[in-house]
Structure formats: C-alpha cells, structure tokens
Amino acid sequence: MQKVKIALSKGGLLGGAVDFFKARGIELDDNEANKRKLIKKGIVTNPEFKDYDVEFLLVRGHDVPVYVEHGAADFGIVGLDVVLDSQAKVHTLLDLDYGHCDLCVCSIQGNYKSIAELPSYARIATTFPNLSKEFFTKRGLEVEIIKLYGSVELAPLTDLTDIIIDLVATGKTLKENGLEPIHTIMHCTSHLIANPSSFEFNKEFFAKLQQAALV
C-alpha cells in the first residue's frame, strides 16, 4: 500500500475539501469515536484508489502550506490567498472552485474612497502580510503592516490601524462593524497543492484525482 498524507484546512473550507474527496471515492473517517482526532483515516470506496493508504491531517489554514512544503503532507487543500502569502515552495495543482472570496483593502465607511486617499505611511492590519506588502510596494506606497491572527475588523475601530486587508465573502461582517471594501486585490478560491518531491512520487494518485473529477 502506498501511503498518501493530505493536509486539510480546518474551519469553513473543510466541508468543500471533504466533498471533493468523497466525490472521488475517498471518505474521511469521522465517526464519533475519533471526532476530536486531528489525524483521520481515509476510507477508500473507489477501486481506482485501492492501492493507497490515505490519511488526512486537520490543521489550521495558514499551516497547510507549511506541512506540505516540509513534506509532513504530500498534498493539501487551502485558499490560494494562504498559499501565495506563505511563499511556500509547493506546486499549485488545481483550482477546486469553492470557497470563493476576495482579498480586499477595507476601511471605516466613508473614511476613504480609494487607496489613493490613504495617508502616507498608512497602518494596515492583516493576516496576509506578504501579499499586503507586495501590493503596496508595486504601487510605490510605503506602509506599516501589523500582522494580526484574528478579529482584524477591530483594528481600525480602535485606531490601531487606518485600514485592513482581509478576505471578504458576503461582506456582512464588514457591514456590521461599519467597514467597507475600497479596493479588491485578488479573487481567491480553494486549491489543491503538493510537495514538489512527493508530487513526483504520487503523480499517478494525482492523475486519478483528475480523471475522477471529469466523471
């Protein structure tokens, strides 16, 4: 049996990842006895994968590229935004077309109409420091980036920062906190990624995933 380890992002993107593999005949063993386990067995129901011992690792979204880059997982599923911001050396294989959202520059409603109105050395709160720095550097704007791990919307409301850069899906959370997007940096979806070395060894497994996707 050839073992394949797959890192999945816990939280909102997990359901789509589980559905992706289930549709291809690999189900996540999530019975009551192992609900809290972070390593779960993949139950293979598709004969195409009968020679594979599949294991799923449930990790924090921003950690998926780390596990994949360092070979602790062969493949992973996570948002493209996380992959790019991590700058991890991984192969980006498939756009899975779920988890749609936009990475946006957001401010308190009415404060700024566009990034052209931002003050010099504007302070920005975000969980995506590398993408944020790249965005403003390309435009020749010097900013101060403050990395936060959650509740980014709170930063401009407490005068910690002038604006935020965050993911926007429905925009409901922004609106409820008196914020609005003023610029869209990129559109994001969930992607299948792979460790470069593991990919060479598991090309057949990936090919079977692609074939199953066409059914």
The predicted-structure confidence for 5-42, as pLDDT tens digits, reads as follows 999 999 889 999 999 999 999 999 876 566 778 999 99
Instruction: Summarize pLDDT for 200-209 with one digit per residue, the tens.
Output: 999 999 999 9
User: Helices in 98-171 by DSSP H: which ranges?
Assistant: 129-138, 154-157
pLDDT at 150: 85
Mapping DSSP to helix (H, G, I), strand (E, B) and coil, where does residue 120 land? coil
- CATH 3.40.50.2300 corresponds to the domain 2-99+189-213: no
Instruction: Summarize pLDDT for 53-63 with one digit per residue, the tens.
Output: 999 999 999 99
pLDDT at 212: 61
Count other C-beta atoms under 10 Å from residue 185's C-beta. Answer: 18
CATH 3.40.190.10 residue ranges in the chain? Answer: 2-99+189-213, 101-186
Paired residues of 8 in beta bridges: 58, 77
- Whole-model pTM: value is 0.91
At the fourth CATH level, the homologous superfamily of domain 101-186 is: Periplasmic binding protein-like II (3.40.190.10)
Q: Is the pLDDT of residue 215 over 60?
A: no
